[in-house]
Structure 1
Amino acid sequence: MSSKPPITKPNNAPKSTSSAIGAALLIAQQFGSRGLTFIVNQVLLRYLSPELLGISTQLEVYSITVLFFARESLRVAIQRQADTEDVAPKPDEEKKKIPSDHVDAGTSAGKTQAIVNLSYISLYLGALFAIIVAWLYTWSLSAGDPAVLATPYFPAALKLYGLAAFWELLAEPCYVVVQHKSRFGIRATAEMIATVLRCLTTCGSAIWAAQTGRDIGVLPFAIGQCTYAVSLLLVYYSSVWSIASTNGFSLFLNSIYSSDPSSYLLSYFSLPLLKLSSSFFTQSILKHLLTQGDTILISLLTTPTVQGTYALASNYGGLIARLILQPIEEITRNYIGKHLSSTTSPSQKSRVLEVRQTLLLLLRTYILFSLAIIVVGPMVAPLLLKIVAGSRWTSSGAGNVLATYCYYIPLLAINGLTEAFVSSVATQRQLARQTLWMFVFSAGFAFASVLFLRVLDMGAEGLVAANGLNMFVRIFWAWGFMRSYFKGFNTSLEIRELLPKGLSIAAGVGTWAVLSQLEKGFGGGIMDLVKSGVVAGMFVLVVTFAERAHFMECYREFRGQGQKP
């Protein structure tokens, strides 16, 4: 007797409200973590030279590279797996076909087990890339900058960073469950605790070394990274274990039963998700090279001192991206991926229109945010840097780099949202086409970087300019994809829908003119910052008034009270 598979319905279906709460939790966690990291960095600046800071940045890039290649493509693919809950139980005849040690693929537990199993691939990839990237890194140093290899405890620090990356990947099964079930509170708690302990161990070991007269080089950063990974692992498993037990899946590899055995590799890995992950993998390599390419190129084309200056400026300039933009981008990708995961649903068009509305609101908010950054940032940022880090760093040119970085932040923000949309809805064929364009973007970025750094000798500012050019062309491509996608549902996406009101633009021009005059008399004191703050505050008030209708619409949308298209 034939029977139908169990009916499922969306579980915790993506809503604007839950997405907003998730974004708020992650932003709050980022503020807490980065705030603490900022304080610790101010302490470390008293004990570390720009050269050591530059080397620690290279080690961080090594860790990020290993983690990115090991898990990023899997994470993006997994986010397209919609969470469902079982509505109708299977008949007894069907249940008897399922081995006792297998999880039914058609149930909510089976779908969750599928992504848990897939996450274990990142462990094997992580071990492989930790070895390969470490070898390439040391080879490039021996050929181009052997002095770095002579830094005290550098080999030990490199090994510890690789070990920490593997430990962090051990927590990946818990991470995918948390993302899949939108349990963002667990993630925020785990990352916050791990960050606190990392800061304490990094700062503590550096101070101890200074007080005892020991030169341990970049070892404090490696110790801190290991502490972070172990803490993350322990907190995640202690929090997610009960979720797995309650919902009938395992945090370890477990066989999955499917009525279509060909859809699973070795009864463990979902072939559709594997194919999607492979499509993202090549693209993720190019994206990482473009994302981390600035650090890679500056390490190859400049001195450690310039690297330290750029690292400080980009760390401060990137605070906004890490505190606010990155959590919003992650939540947006998660929201869109689950909202549009079904291509055959009768309500697909209404879901597309709903996503379009949310996307437009976010993009327009980003445009207004960008207006404020461009108007206020370039003149106020160097002043803030001098007050926080001291004149030693501003005299090294970090202030000018930070001012230039303010023009780059808006491009970084908009690109994050547009590419989040592309990665959430693109087919494998469309992803392949995007990957080809990524090759073009990579070549263009490399050419622009060499031109600005070597030919025009613009230093770190030239690298920021090359990054900005790269982001612009990526936004241009993603915008074209988005317009084509929405056109397929008989709706449009126009730039004019994103433009600020005329009063907002006028206020921006006026504020820029006033700050330009004030900047001529800046002496680097607190009063200069107060004056700038007053002018910036007036600008914010005018923009808030001019864009009040937009902000009210955002409020209604993310409270779940907005009118859905």
Structure 2
Amino acid sequence: MKSSSDLLAGAAKATTYNMALQLMIRVMTFLLNAFVLRFITRDLLGVVNVRLLLLHSTLLFLSCEPFDKACLSKQEKKDWRQVINLMWCAVPISLVFGTVLGSVWMFALKLPDPEAVPYYNIGVVCFCLTSVLECIADPLWLVARAHLFVKLKPYFDSQLTSLVGSFFQQSLLKQVLTEGEKFVMTFLGALSFADQGVYDVINNLGSMAARFIFQPIEESGNLFFSQLLVRGIPIHQQKQDSALLCSQVLAYVLKTVTLIGLTILVFGQSYSFLALDLYGGSILSSGAGPSLLRWYCLYVLFIAINGITEGFVFATMSKEDVDRYNRKMFIFSGVFLLSSWLLTKYLGSVGFILANCFNMLVRILHSVSFIRGYYRQSSALPLREGFPAPLVLVSLGVVSLIMYTSEKLLCCDKGILRRILHVGIGGVCLLAVLLIIYVSEKKLIAFVKEQFDKRKNIKSEEKSS
């Protein structure tokens, strides 16, 4: 049985490798997208990046995510032979959903102009097959994460099977909340394909931090909490050393992602136009593009906080809590879709981002309420300890004013020297912020160093053995 420190070290190691892999993939994708943007139409960009990717993500959410969350949950008694058998059920389910959703995308939705977007039906089939292939690989990935290589037997765990059903409902509603704007675009035609294409490029650029930094942290945190805490058991009945460590990890990870999100928000306000102009030219930097990216930086902050808080909640909820949350998510989904439609109608594509911010804020408040209730009978205060130091917040405010002034004075034209100077000022401001964080967040820095030293010692022991 692995100790709590071993689990934390393993989670940190997995996060590091995940982030390194994500970095390589994202850099390659980033460069390829920058190249492709100069040779395709906005209509084709909108169809592929919004409609077809929505099909892909919906298939994966409905087919794989319920099994992932249920099968990684910690239980007092768990037969992993049954767990592995249950995970493979995602494959036939993905075939069923692929057939149904693929038919909807080809025959129920309005087809794009074949002159502007050729081979649309072939694209639908390819995206469905890609989703099924990912579901085939998912059980192997899940086993690798849990490091469980055991012999199998012809049956399932009834408790986990029931939990899969609960998480299936949750995944369905979460998909609506996560991709709600794409559903509105696809089924209600809120924006033209060209506007959808520009919005999606901004969305992909803005979410790079979420996918590269926050997603690996969220996945590793969810795995860590799931393996260390028993689902549905109050905090005072958990192992006290595990409960204390989980509280510390939650607080420090929450503070880390909040600091990263705030930094992105502050610097994104003054560098959105320049980033879009350098990346995609006037097709992105003209019109609503810079405004979209600035608002998206606020959304990234909400994503950062929601990822870790919701990950902890999902890892500790009982089946009854999950069912209650599903009912709340149903209300959240309706409110989100309605707000997306109304805000888009009056504010254009910015309305989608504002609706997403509202959606994330509601989910954060729910998670905060659950965590406070969970730790009510404990002396631990992970939410309070996860709040950034006041000096850091003040420094971010001052830096924001400096960079706003710099953008107005130096980045109003396309002069290369002025832009280089503007970037240089931002670099100095970033170093100043990092120095203040290092001085003000001593407990966080000490915790990070401690985990780094543990990983270093584990590597040394592995080499010596």
Same fold at TM > 0.5: yes
Change (3 A) 1:529 1:49: farther
Helix, strand or coil: the match of 1:17? helix
1:369 paired residue number: 260
The equivalent residue for 1:520 is: 408
Q: Report what 1:493 is aligned to.
A: 381
Change (3 A) 1:273 1:386: same
TM-score w.r.t. length of structure 1: 0.74
- 3-state SS in 1 of match to 2:379: coil
CA contact (8 A) 2:22 2:212 kept: yes
* Equivalent residues in 2 for 1:278-317, closer than 5 Å: 278-299=165-186, 300-317=189-206
Shift of 1:349: 2.8
Tell me what 1:164 maps to: 130
CA contact (8 A) 1:309 1:397 kept: no
Partner of 2:428: 534
Percent identical residues: 27
For residues 134-172 of structure 1, give each alpha carbon's deviation from its aligned partner in whole angstroms, at most 9, with x where no partner exists. Answer: 222234422xx5537972111111111111222222222
What is the aligned residue count? Answer: 444
**TM alignment of 1:466-481, pairs within 5 A:** 466-481=355-370
Inter-partner Cα distance in structure 2 for 1:149 and 1:474: 42
1:276 to 133, 138, 163: 163
Q: For residues 340 and 482 of structure 1, what CA distance do their matches in structure 2 show? A: 14
Change (3 A) 1:558 1:421: farther
Partner Cα separation in structure 2 for residue 377 and residue 520 of structure 1? 14
Q: Determine the structure 1 residue equivalent to 2:43.
A: 51
Q: Distance in 2 between matches of 1:494 and 1:349?
A: 15
Does structure 1 conserve the Cα–Cα contact (< 8 Å) formed by 2:181 and 2:337? no
2:67 counterpart (71, 74, 79) = 74
Question: Do the aligned partners of 1:16 and 1:560 also contact (CA within 8 Å) in 2?
Answer: no
The structure 2 residue matched to 1:447, chosen from 326, 338, 352, is 338
CA deviation string 1:333-370 (max 9, x = no partner): 11110111375998623211210111001111122222
SS at match of 1:464: helix
The letter for the 2-side match of 1:70 is S
Contact 1:55 1:148 in 2 (8 A): no
Residue aligning to 1:189: none
1:151 aligns with 2:117: yes
Among 223, 237, 240, which residue is 1:349 paired with? 240
Query: Following superposition of structure 1 onto structure 2, how do residues 166-245 of structure 1 map, counting pairs within 5 Å?
Result: 166-181=132-147
SS in 1 for 2:70: helix
Residues 248/179 of structure 1: CA separation in 2 closer, same or farther (3 Å cut): closer
Give distance in 2, aligned partners of 1:148 and 1:297: 22
Asked if 2 retains the 8 angstrom alpha-carbon contact of 1:507 and 1:543, the reply is no
Of 439, 442, 461, the residue aligned with 1:548 is: 442
Aligned mates of 1:61, 1:506 — CA distance in 2: 40
Aligned to 1:269, the other structure's residue is in SS state coil
* Per-residue CA distance 1:60-99 (angstroms, 9 max, x = gap): 11111111100100000111147x9xxxxxxxxxxxxxxx
Unpaired runs of at least 5, structure 1: 1-8, 85-105, 183-246, 256-266
Displacement of 1:301: 0.8
Find the partner of 2:398 among 501, 510, 528: 510
* Mapped contact 1:79–1:180 kept (Cα < 8 A): yes
Amino acid aligned to 1:45: L
Alignment RMSD, CA only? 2.4
TM-score by length of 2: 0.89
Q: In the alignment, is the contact (CA less than 8 A) between 1:65 and 1:288 conserved in 2?
A: yes
CA deviation string 1:176-196 (max 9, x = no partner): 2111118xxxxxxxxxxxxxx
Output the CA distance in 1 between the equivalents of 2:221 and 2:451.
14
Pick aligned residue for 1:27 from 1, 15, 19: 19
What CA deviation, in whole Å up to 9, does each residue of 1:86-131 have, x standing for no partner?
A: xxxxxxxxxxxxxxxxxxxx8xxx9332222111110111011101
- Residue 11 of structure 1 deviates from its aligned partner by 8.3
Match of 2:461 in 1: none
